[in-house]
Chain A
Amino acid sequence: MREHFLLRTLKMFADEALDPVTVASVWRKAQQGAQHSRGCQTPAVLSDHAGVQTRFTASSSTQTEPQEQNLQEGGLGGPDPPGLVDFLKRVEDPVTKELEKNSRSHAFDGYQANWEEGSDHVSLLHSLQHPGAEESGLHVSAVSWSCTGSVIVCAYGRTDDGDWTHQKSCVCLWNLDRRRLRPKQADLVLEVPAAVTSVCCHPERPALIAGGLYNGEVVVWDTSRTQDPVLAQTGMSADSHREPVYQVVWVPLQKKGDFGVLSSSSGGEVLLWLVDPDQGRLVLNAAYAFVRQQLPHSSSLKSRGSSRVGVSALALSPWDADTFLVGSEGGLLLRCSFSCGPPAAVAPEGRSVAPRAPARFCFRPAGGPVHSLHCSPFHRYRLPPPQTAAVLTRYDPTRLRRNLFISAGTDGEVRLGSLLQADPLLAVRVSDSYVFQAQWSPSRPLVFAAATGQGEVQIFDLARKSLRPAATIRDGAADRTATCLAFNGADPRLLAAGRSDGTVGVWLLSSDLTEQRAEESLRLEQIANQVAE
């Protein structure tokens, strides 16, 4: 009995394996909550139109008080210091008396004071020759004085062959202020591969010289450089001239102190170049082409031959930076403008700048090719009307009207014209043959000189009653033509004249040709005011 009870209790404590039991989580479901689908929509916005109008208006204005004009000097136009009115009252009477006495006075009639020893006649100072040029039979084609007036630049070249020439020529410089001046040997000789037709010295930098060559190139030399004086040249690029260059001129540009080179050629173009010294090139800045159809009043001219108008002479106006004068091989005289002008009716010819037609006004044509043009550097001495404030310099259109110019050509006459009038004011018979160059004197407003084909340089003085020359410079044989001349801007007594035998004469003019007298500007003004009937 007791054994059975023990066995049953032992079976109660045996090992058993049971299957696992899983219990699902009820937390997640409890947190989710119930999900339903619903829609919603905003109601339409109500809009309405309404008008607004002002019922009454009131105007008021504001203005700043004008500021008292105060100049840099200070005090002009402002309240006067008290002593000034009294001073003026005291002084007015004596001043008025003196003014009246002076206007009636004859005390100084015909009185000429001379501070320097003047000379009575024209004399030859130097006769400069370059043996190399003389051997080759070159003519002097152009002379130019440097801006300081001490160096004369002579260009040699023959242009009367009528054909392309491969003859080398040169540009010679003489410094006349040197003590040991050697007339037979130039101080500096620049070799040039072609004939030089024109030179022009820079108006401000004495070392720069611009030259135009017969093969259409324009070159700028810098004589301060010892190694290679050629500073810049156009080269034979698409931009350069294809015909001989007739004239080169330095022209002031927009920026003060900058100058460009203006060159004209017989191909009918005038090109404006800028100097690029780093690259040694002249860069084309503007091009002007002359085509017969685009000239003003061209219907009155006979159009024969090609439509291009070969430009043989160029002149800048010293008073109007926008105007320049052009003379052509056919005798046309045109007044042109740098800035405004329609595009020229020519084929582009691969130029980098499109050419314009600059002609604005056509003067009466001359009988033959125009060789030379020059604008008068004198202007009437005129002051603006009185004002209490200081006078501002304003553009005065009457300035253009007063400017005179002379033109010389193959008809043996030098014509005096005014810029605003088609007909010339005066025609002076200079010689029976061609006149190659005419230039105004830089010191006397009524004097100009002309270089003639008969070898003489005639100097005319418009103050004289007769129109015979005031002085004639004759140097040597009469069959040598005087091809060019130049007045010295710094020393107006000197005149240089180049001839076809290769010599350049430097002449000292007499004092009555160089010293300005009273009333000369007035007389010039009277001539300018004449209207040709």
Chain B
Amino acid sequence: MADVDETLKRIESHKGVIGTILVNGDGIPVRTTLDNSTTSQYARLLRSFTALASSAVRDVDPQNDLTFVRIRSKKHEIMVAPENNNLLIVIQNPCE
């Protein structure tokens, strides 16, 4: 448990990181730094988005697979690292 927290703290201490969410294989947010409603929204939406992206990549080339998703929006950037339905979601404000 302490490893998880330490790792997450290291990630959060990066420049511009606004929030992190760790989602387990069942789609339930296990660790978060955002409030409840935002967390569940992000978890739900990004899970389906990542599944869509993953299937798109594999449809084009069955040998290929999705490693990382970055969504750039006007206000900030959302990064999702997927693996076996686990998700690590990091929201960063690039501060240009």
Binding site for B on A (CB under 8 A): 71, 73-76, 79-81, 83-85, 87-92, 94-96, 98-100, 102-103, 105-106, 108-109, 113, 381, 383-388, 390-391, 393, 516-519, 521-522
- Encoded as 1 (CB less than 8 Å from any A CB) or 0, chain B from 2 to 14 comes to 0111011111101
| B residues less than 8 Å from A385 (CB atoms) | 33
Restricting to B1-33, which residues have a CB under 8 Å from any CB of A?
1, 3-5, 7-12, 14-20, 22, 24-25, 28-33
In the complex with contacts A92-B10, A98-B68, A83-B36 CB distance below 8 A: no
Which residues in B have their C-beta under 8 angstroms from that of A521? Answer: 75
A383 to B95: give the CA distance in the assembly, Å.
16
- Chain B residue contacts of A109, Cβ below 8 A: 96
Q: Which residues of chain B are near A75, meaning CB under 8 Å?
A: 24, 28, 30
- Given contact pairs A109-B96, A517-B74, A85 touches B3 in the complex (Cβ within 8 A): yes
Q: Pick from B11, B34, B79: contact of A92, CB below 8 A.
A: B11
Q: Which of B16, B28, B88, B96 contacts A73 (CB 8 A)?
A: B28
A-B pairs with the 8 shortest C-beta distances?
A386-B33, A91-B81, A99-B14, A103-B15, A87-B86, A88-B7, A91-B88, A73-B28
- Asked if B83 is at the interface of the complex by the 8 Å CB criterion, the answer is yes
Closest to B39 in A: A390
**Shortest distance from the beta carbon of B95 to any chain A beta carbon, whole Å:** 7
Most buried by B among A76, A79, A87, A387: A87
Contact between A80 and B35 (Cβ–Cβ < 8 Å)? no
How near does chain B come to A511, taking the closest CB pair, in angstroms?
13
Chain B positions 32-48 with a Cβ under 8 Å from a chain A Cβ: 32-36, 39-40
Chain A contacts of B83 at CB under 8 A?
Answer: 87, 90-91
Q: How far is the CA of A94 from the CA of B90 in the complex (A)?
A: 12
* Chain A residues touching B, majority SS: loop
- Min CB distance B36 to A, Å, is 5
A497 to B88, CA, bound (A): 49
B residues near A519, Cβ cutoff 8 Å: 95-96
- Shortest CB-to-CB span from A319 to chain B, Å, is 16
B72 CB-CB contact with A under 8 Å: yes
- In the complex, which of the residues A88, A96, A100, A516 has the most CB atoms of chain B within 10 Å of its own CB atom? A88
Within 8 Å by CB of B84, from A74, A83, A381, lies A83
Could you list 10 examples of A-B contacts with CB < 8 Å?
A: A71-B36, A87-B88, A89-B3, A91-B81, A94-B81, A95-B88, A96-B11, A99-B90, A102-B94, A391-B35
On whether the beta carbons of B4 and A516 are closer than 8 Å, the reply is: no
Given contacts A75-B30, A91-B83, A105-B94, contact A84 B35 (CB under 8 A): no
The reply to whether A99 and B92 form a contact with Cβ atoms under 8 Å apart is yes
Contact B18 A383 (CB under 8 A): yes
Contact of A388 among B5, B10, B15 (CB under 8 A): B5
The prevalent SS among residues of B at the interface is mixed
| Max chain B Cβ within 10 angstroms of own Cβ: one of A71, A96, A99, A390 | A99
Q: Is the CB of A83 within 8 A of B86?
A: yes
Cβ contact within 8 Å between A96 and B22: no
In the complex, A205 Cα to B31 Cα: how many Å? 39
Say how far A366's CB is from chain B's closest CB, in angstroms. 35
Q: Which residues of A contact B4 (CB under 8 A)?
A: 80, 84-85, 88
Which B residues between 53 and 81 are near A, CB-CB below 8 angstroms? 67-68, 70, 72, 74-75, 77, 79, 81
| Contact A98-B11, Cβ < 8 Å, known A75-B30, A80-B4, A383-B33 | no
A81 close to B29 (CB less than 8 A): no
Of chain A, the residue at the smallest CB distance from B32 is: A390
| Distance of A380 from chain B, by nearest CB (Å) | 12
B25 touches A108 (CB 8 A): no
Q: Assess A84 versus B24: contact at CB under 8 Å? Given A71-B36, A94-B68, A99-B92.
A: yes
Question: Once the chains bind, are A79 and B7 in contact (CB under 8 Å)?
Answer: no
A383 to B88, CA, bound (A): 18
The residue on A at minimum CB distance from B94 is A102
Whether A95 and B30, one on each chain, are in contact in the complex, defined by CB atoms closer than 8 angstroms, is: no
**Would A381 and B75 be within 8 Å (CB), given that A76-B32, A85-B3, A95-B90 are in contact?**
yes
Closest Cβ–Cβ distance, residue A357 to chain B (whole Å): 37
- Collect the chain B residues with CB atoms within 8 Å of residue A518's CB: 74-75, 96
In the bound complex, residues from chain B placing their C-beta under 8 Å from that of A522 are 95
Q: Choose from B29, B34, B92, B94 the contact partner of A391 (Cβ within 8 Å).
A: B34
Which listed residue, B31, B67, B96, touches A108 by the CB 8 Å rule? B96
**Contacting residues, chain A, for B18 (C-beta < 8 A):** 381, 383
Nearest residue (CB) in A for B35 is A391
| Cβ distance A323 to chain B, nearest Cβ, rounded Å | 23
Shortest beta-carbon distance, B82 to chain A, in Å? 9
Known: A95-B11, A522-B95. 20 other contacts (CB 8 A): A76-B29, A80-B1, A84-B24, A85-B3, A85-B4, A87-B83, A87-B86, A88-B8, A92-B11, A95-B88, A102-B70, A102-B77, A102-B79, A105-B94, A106-B96, A108-B94, A383-B18, A383-B33, A518-B96, A521-B75
